[in-house]
Amino acid sequence: MRSHILLSTNLAIFNICCLPILAQPAQTLQNLPDGKYFYGEVPEANRLATQYIIFEKTGETFTAFEYRSNTSDNSCLKGTISQNTFNIQTIASPPDRGYDRLKWQYSSGKPADFSKWHQLNISQLPDFGEKRLAECIRVFTTIPDQKK
């Protein structure tokens, strides 16, 4: 009797400890919670001439500031997210001088795969990051009448 109880207990413990671990879904841009995020082509912030993106996600939509560090190459992006792809619907490029919304150039975007990009700590954002993202949000909130 005692051996049956011992055997039953051992089998129960074996079954519990050896149950298959359910695979967790891979982290994608789409399943990130709403909020602000900072991603880079490399896992370090502020590397010379490297592409970065700061974006605010709300549901499946995003608004972003994309830039190449230490260059004047930058733009604002707006669109939707599907898995690890930004479906960029609109690109807004700032004028050569200043951020006068009436002089921004608007164009259509295309899907961009970010599966190989690295999520960086939001605390590593450069000083201008929050300000530029806020400007991008304003640019898309108040697109000049001729571009609506």
Rg (alpha carbons) of the chain, rounded to whole number: 23
Q: Model's pTM, two decimal places?
A: 0.76
Q: What does the alpha-carbon distance between residue 46 and residue 116 come to, in Å, rounded to a whole number? A: 18
Point out which residues pair with 93 in neighbouring strands: 105
Using CA atoms, how far residue 112 sits from 1, 77, 86, 89, 98, in Å, is 66, 11, 5, 11, 27
Instruction: Kindly report the three-state secondary structure assignment for every residue of 81-92.
Output: EECCEEEEEEEE
Among 63, 60, 75, 55, CA closest to 30:
60
* pLDDT confidence of residue 144: 58
| pLDDT tens over the chain, length 148 residues | 555 544 444 444 444 444 444 555 567 899 999 999 999 999 999 899 999 999 999 999 999 999 999 888 899 999 999 999 999 999 999 877 655 556 788 999 999 999 999 999 999 999 999 999 999 999 998 765 544 4
Neighbours of 120 (CB within 10 A): 20
Strands 105-108 and 85-93 come out as antiparallel
